[in-house]
Structure 1
Amino acid sequence: MLSPSTGGVRVWCRTRRLDPDAASPLHGGPVRRSTILFLLADAASLLGNSFIAVVLPWLVLARTGDPAAAGVVAAATAAPAVIAALVGGWVVDRVGRRRISIISDLGSALAVAAIPLVDATAGLDLGWFVLLGALGALFDVPGMTARESLLPDVARAGGMSLDRLSGVREGLFGVTFLAGPALAGLALTAFEPTAVLVVTAAASALAALCTLLIPAAVGRRSADALAEPAARQLLGGLRVVAADPLLRAVTVLSIGSAAVLGPLQALLLPAWFSTTGSSAALGLTLSALALGTLVGAGTYAVAAGRMRRRTAYLLCLLCVSTGMLLLASLAHPLVVALAMFVCGLGSGLLSPVVPVVVAGRVPESHRGRVFGVQNAVVMLLAPLAVGLAGAVAASSLEWAFYAATALWLATALYGALVPGMRSLDEPATTCEETPAEQRC
């Protein structure tokens, strides 16, 4: 693979098969402990995020009495989230993946803990919610980028296949997505929202503690991360994605998925269940999506090393396309739930592949910026997709579902035909940056 030039820094590349059982520079107990601590940190952080997604809108409504205020808070935090994704990837590469994971989780914990503190002292209003929500976004997004970037380091240190570890991580995401909102709802029935936020802050603090216990050698900043001028570093991730056909294709597919799934979860499904008088089935449908993601990711983790990545990828396109066609029929709430399970199954098969692709195609010193670019683009376009879906749904809810299905089918057709995705099973590439000329 020809890696893109990075200004004055050139790249020497050597291509080889990564041996998941190769000896790690860290041996014995600490090796296994690193993997467990990473998964615990990721699960705790995801659990905190799932709690805040339920508790914060509830608290906004309780304190302001305005149903539109929750939408204002969400919109006000979107721009900081996009900026944090772009700049955060650069910070991850400059400072170090493990270190930024710790700082971000601690910052998230403080931002969430500040909400009940302000409520008890100055009193919460819309301005405070916007300010603290934006502050939380500035920490959450770099933390997400840092953990994604840290995944290959943890797999290498633990002697575990990156495919398998990525599958296990996505399976934990499915469990959290399934259990988190339900647990948050139960907590709100027993405790005040501010008390639940204290538990949410504690989850982020636990994530920071687990990452802190990972050996410092895991996820350390690349020695070449500071070799470029700062202005070029900020655009480094965009240049890497633009120069690699596989990374471009993965990014386009991520955009297409977000443009479909975001409106479905945030708008179309709640609107349809409310019109059918089956609002209680909405929770079942979203749980079916999470369960499908868990099953798909678990299948990939178990089959890692035996299933080709392209096979998992094509199965993903087939499953999600089938699920979207079922969903467009809107035949019955149970059919809709089944459709979302099938969509989740396909998503779970593909999601673990993305970190593996990035790890194999991107120089270590650019990994955070590449994830940052992908996250920023998705965060920028997802709200726009929700707004567009709302405009279509205002005329016809059924046509909004048809449009979402057509958009996914177009994305799947692109994914099946684009040449870049044919190299999913090429040998992984490790790149060493050096001020010499570029060779592969």
Structure 2
Amino acid sequence: MTSSLRGPLALYVLLTANTLSWQGNAIAAIALPWFVLSTTQSPALTGIIAACQTVPAMMASLLGGPLVDRLGLRRTSVLSDVMSAVCVLAVPLLHAGQWLSFPLLCVLVFLGALLDAPGATARASLLPELSQRAAWPLERTNTLSELLESGSGWIAPLLAGTLVAALGAPGALWINALSFALSAALVRMGVPDLRPSPEPGPVGGGVLEGLRFVLRDGPLRVIFGSSVVFSASMAALFGVMLPVLARQEGGALGLGGLLSAFGAGSLLGALAFGVWGARWSRRWTFVISVGGLWLIFAVLALSSDLRVALGAMFVGGLIAGPNGPLIPTILQERTPAALRARVFGASAALTLAASPLGLLLVGAATEWAGLRPVLLGVAAVFAAALLGVLLDRGLELADTQRPVTAG
């Protein structure tokens, strides 16, 4: 059955559903690490629970593209959100009954992330098609999408910090489950059932096809190849280092403030891209934006003062913000419609590839050596990866070569 919504209305519904999912995930990003850190006092176990989120997300992103083609975009999104809501809701329910052990929590987090990723891939694949139907340019759609995501990253952490402080981490997860349920209902009722690849091939072949496309395309190779390091570093920052820093100063509200400062800066940076980004070099926008992320690690390594950390998160988010709409715009422009789910899944998997290892290593290293030496080490690795991006000329094609077709 196809939705009756047409034009920009279906796009608005999809963006609203995405926003609800982002809000819920932003709440979980605070509630789950804080729950583990406050009950175990262990940065290493906090790293393990964060890795339980990224490993299945990587697996599902890689394998989910061909499965999305088989099930259809809308159906995958709805099923993913419903099952994710069930997994999230099980955490506070089992905790209330005193049946929630750490291994069981790991299993639930693993399953929730495994089920969430295909839905995200499906909604990302719907976005360019609905943008075309609404007669919106991709830059406009992706800027609005990034503003909503950054807004979620700004508002939800403050809400989550308040909820965790007032109700505890299990109570905050009820809101997360509700957001998934509402997202599923919106997509089911308001988004057309599109299937861009009517005759999907074998799952394994689709995975390789998506990876080959990303690795053969110059701009995509540079962006998603380097994101192996960049995303692993940011995952460790959000999943381990910031909770440890906030536990030392500021508590759950301090952690919410740090994430909100980054979200607010990212929102303004994305807005700047929406206004002036069409005139900017895409290569240098990407490089400078990544440099803003490196700045966060450098400043936090030099000062553990919460006020300095808040400023670093805001400024770093501001500089990095343009990459939010820039990266999906380049990805959508350079990917044929029939390959979108596979290529989007492969690109997401590359982004998450090293994150589990980074979380485990940073968690163990922080417990052994302390926070500051680990921040210095991550900043050095990040800088080396940024230098590699500067030396690789593949991203120049994003400025000099327009895509063949996206439709």
TM above 0.5, yes or no, is yes
SS of 1:352's equivalent in the other structure is helix
Post-superposition offset of 1:162: 0.9
Within 5 Å, give how 1:319-358 maps onto structure 2.
319-330=292-303, 332-358=305-331
When normalised by structure 1's length, the TM-score is 0.79
Q: 1:238 aligns with which of 192, 196, 211?
A: 211
Between 1:375-384 and 1:184-193, the stretch displaced more is 184-193
More helix by proportion, 1 or 2? 2
Q: Is the 8 A contact 1:85 1:373 kept in 2?
A: yes
| 1:409 corresponding residue in structure 2 | 383
The residue aligned with 2:145 is 169
Q: 3-state SS of the aligned residue for 2:260?
A: helix
Residue identity (%): 32
Question: Which of 184, 204, 207 lines up with 2:160 in the alignment?
Answer: 184
RMSD: 3.2
Counterpart of 2:196, as a letter, is R
Q: Give, in angstroms, the shift of residue 278 of structure 1.
A: 6.0
Q: Measure, in 1, the Cα distance between the counterparts of 2:128 and 2:160.
A: 31
**Cα deviation, residue 372, structure 1:** 1.9
Question: When the two structures are aligned, how many residues end up with a matched partner?
Answer: 400
The answer to whether the 8 Å contact 2:228/2:350 transfers is: yes
Segment of structure 1 superposing worse, 328-337 or 253-262: 328-337
CA contact 1:164–1:304 (8 Å) conserved in 2: no
Shift of 1:311: 4.8
SS where residue 159 of structure 1 aligns?
coil
Match of 1:385 in 2: 358
Q: State the Cα deviation string for residues 94-143 of structure 1 (Å, max 9, x = none).
A: 33223211221122122223445555679433454233322212211111
Correspondence for 1:94: 70
Distance 1:111 1:273, change over 3 A: closer
**Is 1:265 aligned to residue 238 of structure 2?**
yes
Deviates more, 1:404-413 or 1:236-245: 404-413
- Per the alignment, residue 21 of structure 1 pairs with none
Q: 1:92 offset after TM fit, Å?
A: 1.7
What's the counterpart of residue 84 of structure 1? 60
Measure the CA separation in 2 of the matches of 1:339 and 1:284.
Answer: 12
Aligned pair 1:147/2:123, yes or no? Answer: yes
Contact 2:19 2:148 in 1 (8 A): yes
- Moved >6 Å (runs of 4+): none
CA offsets 1:354-386 (integer angstroms, 9 cap, x no match): 211221222222222222223223333113123
Distance (Å, rounded) in 2 between the aligned partners of 1:419 and 1:336 = 34
Q: Pick from 282, 292, 309 the counterpart of residue 309 of structure 1.
A: 282
Quick check: 1:52 aligned with 2:28?
yes
Q: Distance in 2 between matches of 1:334 and 1:54?
A: 19
Task: Give the TM-score taking structure 2 as reference length.
Answer: 0.85
Against the structure 1 CA distance between its residues 108 and 363, is the aligned structure 2 distance closer, same or farther, given a 3 Å change threshold?
A: same
| 1:43 to 2:38 alignment | no
Match of 1:372 in 2: 345
Q: What is the CA distance between 1:264 and its match in structure 2?
A: 2.5
CA distance in 2, matches of 1:321, 1:59: 28
3-state secondary structure, aligned to 1:141: helix
> 1:401 Cα shift?
2.5
Q: CA deviation at 1:54?
A: 3.4
| 1:44-101 C-alpha deviation (Å, 9 max, x unpaired) | 0111112233344566689xx5455665544445443332221112212333223211
Q: Aligned equivalents of 1:59 and 1:351: distance in 2?
A: 29
Taking the aligned partners of 1:410 and 1:76, their CA distance within structure 2 comes to: 27
Alpha-carbon distance between aligned partners in 2 of 1:278 and 1:191, rounded to the nearest angstrom? 17
1:30 aligns with 2:10: no
Aligned equivalent of 1:424? 398
Contact 2:89/2:174 (8 A) holds in 1: yes
1:285-316: CA deviation from partner (whole Å, max 9, x where unpaired): 33322211111112112335444534532442
Cα distance in 2 between the residues matched to 1:83 and 1:32: 33
- 1:404 deviates by 2.1
Q: CA deviation at 1:390?
A: 4.5
**1:85-234 correspondence to structure 2 within 5 Å:** 85-118=61-94, 123-191=99-167, 196-216=172-192, 219-223=194-198, 225-226=199-200, 228-234=201-207
Q: Are the aligned partners of 2:197 and 2:339 in contact in 1 as well (CA < 8 Å)?
A: no
8 A contact 1:152–1:356 mirrored in 2: no
Describe the shift of the 1:379–1:129 C-alpha distance in structure 2 as closer, same or farther (beyond 3 A).
same
Q: 1:249 aligns with which of 218, 222, 239?
A: 222
CA distance in 1, matches of 2:104, 2:247: 31
Distance change in 2, residues 1:159/1:251 (3 Å): same
> CA 1:244–1:166 in 2, change beyond 3 Å: closer, same or farther?
same
**Structure 1 residues 372-417: Cα deviation after superposition (integer angstroms, max 9, x where no partner):** 2232233331131233334554346443322222222222222223
Deviation string for 1:126-164 (max 9, x for gaps)?
454233322212211111222222221121121112112
Which letter does structure 1 place at the counterpart of 2:397? S
1:203 & 1:51 partners in 2: Cα distance?
10
Q: Which amino acid aligns with 1:313?
A: F
Paired residues of 1:165 and 1:301 also in contact (CA < 8 A): no
In structure 2, the partner of 1:437 is: none
